Structure 1
Amino acid sequence: MTALWQCTATELVAGFRAKQWSPKEALDSVLERLEAVNPGLNAVIALADDAQEAAERSSLRYIEGRPLSPLDGVPISIKDNLLLAGVPATWGTTALRHWIPDHDELPVARLRQAGAVLFAKTNAPEFTLEGYTDNPVYGVTGSPWAPALTPGGSSGGAAAAVAAGIGPLALGTDGGGSIRRPAAHCGLVGLKPSIGTVPRADGFPQILLDFEVAGPLARCVEDAALMLNVLEGACLEDRQSWMEHSGRRTTASRVLCVSSLPGCPVDPQIRRHVEKAATTFSRMGLEVVFDTLPLELAALNEIWSEVGQIGLAHLAETHPTWLEHASPKYQDMANAGARLPASRLWHTLDVVSCLRRQVDTLFTSTDMLLMPSIAALSWPASQAYPPTIDGQPVGPRGHAVFTGWVNAAGNPAINLPVEPSHEGLPIGLQLIGPWQSEHLLLDLAQRYQRLAPWKARYADLWER
């Protein structure tokens, strides 16, 4: 018999409605799984004291036939940079080691209002500014596929938890690929919504302009769609959530596949497996064109590191004690940001605005863009980034070249697993769509999932 921790959220809810099992039993199974595997992963860093009570209330609602939503009773973990009332929110930095918020951040509040059982916080790097998961408060997180290797970052704890069966869903954030890359490294579905689709309010200060959005990590596309349906929708507290695209795309016929970028090495297995997976979309009846990316990214790459520096400099002004106790690396970044002239921020905004116009133009000639989510396979868990890819030296974001520009553009993107490497390590592709095309992405992703049953390839981990 399948243990409840192995079930997807969709399967759990079907069982709740059929009275095959209860939310209380589902939570107990997930917590048993956590006890068994989390010591070797360090994915979950804190538990919510009120989770059992929430599961019991949800169980009663199903008995009475009045669940609050299609997520009612589903155990969901929350990334440490998102506020969950009554549970520590450290943002991976020592100054916040003992801080416990008294309220939920807006996306978290929407999950709670939907009846989800918010049971845990997951690990993240300090200030969520890294592509691996380690911090001075909780330490290093490993991948369920190979605990000595990284699950990526910054939603590394979230991805490791879901991949290991510690809850079927996690809420993460993506400011430069931080949902999609960990999803790729862990064999998951990870959705980065458009800016404004999931409103943000009542959380930590934004330090990456408006690039960072909240979204789901899941083991199947259906579960990601369930969470998005709860999270999305305009809110007065976030003006960007009211932005509408008059020509929202509802169908797609042409996909542009870009498997490499100029001057950026890619692991040969990643490139080969993503190109192979792209042919699945041809079987779905779409025209797949293999070509180069018709965007100029040099200006964005030039200012990318300055965005975090300026954000940390502002954080140092508004919350000086946080940076006084931060790791030296982030103090240095904040100092570098403080030395930049104000005109540099204005230049950054111009670069971002120009990129967004380019991307809008791109989607007048193609419906979807398909790229790798990662340029490198998982590397040692305590190492910030792989120093070489395909035998060529790379810098700190060499592994992340495919994702950051999508955040700056503000467009939605979803990671989908492809055939693993010969070492057994997960690989992912990202499908990128026009502004506010999340539901089209999810529809295409579900069709891809049916034709390329990657869940079966990755099921070995979930059955252990």
Structure 2
Amino acid sequence: MSTELIYADATKLAELIRTRELSPVEVVQAHLDRIAAVDPKVNAIVTLADDALRNAKEAEAAVQRGETLGPLHGVPFTAKDSIDTAQVLTQRGSPIFKGRTPDTDATAVKRLKAAGAILLAKTNLPEFSYGIESDNLLSGRTNNPWNLEMTPGGSSGGESAAIAAGMSPLGLGTDLAISVRGPAAHTGIVSLKATHGRVPMTGIWPREPRRFWHVGPMARSVRDLQLAFSQLSGPDGLDGFSSSAVPFDAGIGGDRKRALRVGWLVEPGYGPIDRETASTVEAAAEALKAFGHSVESVRIPALERDFGFDVFSRLHVLEMKPGVQQITAGHDESEIGTMARFMLSLPDTPAADYIDAVQGAERLKDGYADYFSKYDVLLTPVLPTPSFKHGQSELSINGTATSVMGIMNVTSHLNVTGLPGVALRFGTSSQGMPIGVQIVGGWQAESTILHVASQLEKISPVRELRPVL
């Protein structure tokens, strides 16, 4: 097994396949071998796609015939197990759905396949995609490849761990409040939560309520995010939230010579932030000055008026409980995990609080709109702290005990407002764990934030680090 091959990004693999320096069969087999070698320790993979090698052979034959190849031809990818995959188990992290095999692919899966990519496997998640750890009654707990005693996060933690460990070059995750960006930061990879509606949620569960749900790419390089997003974005005629109001500029950054106005923010507005994380954000901000950008510390008053995670919680509890009640009704308690029990135990949000939360979400949108009328980019933490040990209910941040649920304090703002954000590693904690930064843009400004992320990636002090397994 070539280390260089399993840690190559999807863009490089596609190039080597196109030029016949590698065959799709070699690439798929190398990743299958890597899964066999390291997944017993990590437990990121829940199901292998039985036809992956057959599809790789067909892809190789297409290369030999000189056919027109898609931009991801022959490149393997993985998908979170809440995303439907035709004739491949999609069990949603729950015994309730054990053995469930969809007949059709989710739109996001169809689009990657149409670009030539080959489904390799499905990855682990918390029950129903609800949770900040990827652990469930059906397939167990996923470990962080950087330290197996630590969490890779949730809910796309199996996906992030698989990519970080070299088991997959590219993946699909979903994001409700944290779930592609948090796991990416925990494991040192990159991910994109695009503007709400840019990528259809068709074939992805739970489908309702969809006001905060996103699906997005997770990868090893920013250029892979760009390439995947260029294939994923756009309406499918089935998801009413999907929109193509502003076409995605497939060339990262559009006018790459223009200096950008960048603000960076750690506190206030996002709750307590670990000092190492805060220092990493400040270092990334300082680094952007080398590219000619105008960079300064900022405050956003709306974030100090309405706390994003509080707004999210008051809205979503009332909206998601009926669905969880319907799913679990009539099932034995042994089939229902801790997270579902917790959600069912939560009190309903009183109507007055719900209405205030709706208005709070609007105030947050207005606050960010005002900010982005003056700045092009906002640089923030992804998480308030680096990864932590499995099963923790509390975290100590700068000596103060705080609920572990607070790790969604920064990321949930973008779900409430629908703003796009990229997660990118830019530091390392004193315990050797990745620390990420979040690059946020105005609505539908994915091109801008991918451009800035690519600049930070070039000068990242930790770009070449890999976990040892």
TM-score (norm 2): 0.91
Structure 1 match to 2:340: 330
Structure 1 match to 2:82: 81
Identity of aligned residues (%): 32
1:369 and 2:369 are equivalent in the alignment: no
User: Structure 1 residue 329: deviation in Å?
Assistant: 4.3
1:281 and 2:288 are equivalent in the alignment: yes
Between the two proteins, the alignment pairs up a number of residues equal to 459
Structure 1 distance, partners of 2:399, 2:381, is: 19
Q: Is the 2:427–2:461 Cα contact (8 Å) retained in structure 1?
A: no
Structure 1 match to 2:101: 100
Match of 2:363 among 354, 367, 375: 354
Structure 2 match to 1:91: 92
1:18 and 2:36 are equivalent in the alignment: no
User: Structure 1 residue 60: deviation in Å?
Assistant: 1.4
Amino acid at match of 1:284: F
Match of 1:272 among 279, 285, 298: 279
Name the SS of the counterpart of 2:191 in structure 1. strand
Q: Is the 2:200–2:241 Cα contact (8 Å) retained in structure 1?
A: yes
Segment of structure 1 superposing worse, 314-323 or 228-237:
314-323
Structure 2 distance, partners of 1:355, 1:138, is: 38
Name the SS of the counterpart of 1:62 in structure 2. helix
Structure 1 distance, partners of 2:351, 2:52, is: 46
Q: Is the 2:125–2:134 Cα contact (8 Å) retained in structure 1?
A: yes
Structure 2 match to 1:141: 142
Structure 1 distance, partners of 2:232, 2:247, is: 21
Structure 2 distance, partners of 1:361, 1:77, is: 38
Structure 1 match to 2:117: 116
Segment of structure 1 superposing worse, 259-268 or 281-290:
259-268
Name the SS of the counterpart of 1:72 in structure 2. coil
Assess, with a 3 A threshold, how the Cα gap between structure 1 residues 419 and 317 changes in structure 2: closer, same or farther: closer
User: Structure 1 residue 449: deviation in Å?
Assistant: 1.8
Structure 2 match to 1:388: 396
Q: Is the 1:309–1:334 Cα contact (8 Å) retained in structure 2?
A: no
Provide Cα deviations, 1:339-385, integer angstroms capped at 9, x if missing partner. 4456655544333233222221210011110001111121112x155
Structure 1 match to 2:467: 461
Structure 2 distance, partners of 1:138, 1:53, is: 26
Amino acid at match of 2:360: V
Name the SS of the counterpart of 2:20 in structure 1. coil
User: Structure 1 residue 127: deviation in Å?
Assistant: 1.8
User: Structure 1 residue 451: deviation in Å?
Assistant: 2.9
Structure 1 distance, partners of 2:135, 2:20, is: 41
Q: Is the 2:192–2:422 Cα contact (8 Å) retained in structure 1?
A: yes
- Structure 1 unaligned blocks of 5 or more: none
TM-score (norm 1): 0.92
Name the SS of the counterpart of 2:182 in structure 1. helix
Assess, with a 3 A threshold, how the Cα gap between structure 1 residues 226 and 385 changes in structure 2: closer, same or farther: farther
Segment of structure 1 superposing worse, 281-290 or 316-325:
316-325
User: Structure 1 residue 312: deviation in Å?
Assistant: 3.2
Provide Cα deviations, 1:315-354, integer angstroms capped at 9, x if missing partner. 14653548764225424523546x4456655544333233
Structure 1 distance, partners of 2:415, 2:157, is: 18
Structure 2 distance, partners of 1:169, 1:322, is: 38
Amino acid at match of 1:425: M
Provide Cα deviations, 1:38-57, integer angstroms capped at 9, x if missing partner. 00000111111111121111
Assess, with a 3 A threshold, how the Cα gap between structure 1 residues 334 and 344 changes in structure 2: closer, same or farther: farther
Structure 1 match to 2:457: 449
Assess, with a 3 A threshold, how the Cα gap between structure 1 residues 247 and 275 changes in structure 2: closer, same or farther: same
User: Structure 1 residue 245: deviation in Å?
Assistant: 5.5
Structure 1 distance, partners of 2:324, 2:405, is: 24
Provide Cα deviations, 1:413-446, integer angstroms capped at 9, x if missing partner. 0011112123211000000000011112112222
Structure 1 match to 2:430: 422
Name the SS of the counterpart of 1:419 in structure 2. strand
Structure 2 match to 1:66: 67
Assess, with a 3 A threshold, how the Cα gap between structure 1 residues 335 and 312 changes in structure 2: closer, same or farther: farther
Structure 2 distance, partners of 1:322, 1:256, is: 51
Provide Cα deviations, 1:232-285, integer angstroms capped at 9, x if missing partner. 122211232225259999566111100233582222111112211211111111
Match of 1:314 among 300, 303, 322: 322
Correspondences of 1:400-419 after superposition (within 5 Å):
400-419=408-427
User: Structure 1 residue 129: deviation in Å?
Assistant: 1.8
Assess, with a 3 A threshold, how the Cα gap between structure 1 residues 384 and 63 changes in structure 2: closer, same or farther: farther
Structure 2 distance, partners of 1:414, 1:322, is: 41
Structure 1 distance, partners of 2:404, 2:212, is: 19
Q: Is the 1:250–1:437 Cα contact (8 Å) retained in structure 2?
A: no
Assess, with a 3 A threshold, how the Cα gap between structure 1 residues 142 and 194 changes in structure 2: closer, same or farther: same
Structure 2 match to 1:188: 189
Structure 2 distance, partners of 1:124, 1:263, is: 26
Name the SS of the counterpart of 1:239 in structure 2. coil
Structure 2 distance, partners of 1:331, 1:370, is: 36
Structure 1 distance, partners of 2:375, 2:26, is: 47
Assess, with a 3 A threshold, how the Cα gap between structure 1 residues 302 and 80 changes in structure 2: closer, same or farther: same
Name the SS of the counterpart of 1:241 in structure 2. coil
Structure 1 match to 2:226: 225
Structure 1 distance, partners of 2:420, 2:50, is: 34
Assess, with a 3 A threshold, how the Cα gap between structure 1 residues 385 and 120 changes in structure 2: closer, same or farther: farther
Assess, with a 3 A threshold, how the Cα gap between structure 1 residues 67 and 314 changes in structure 2: closer, same or farther: farther
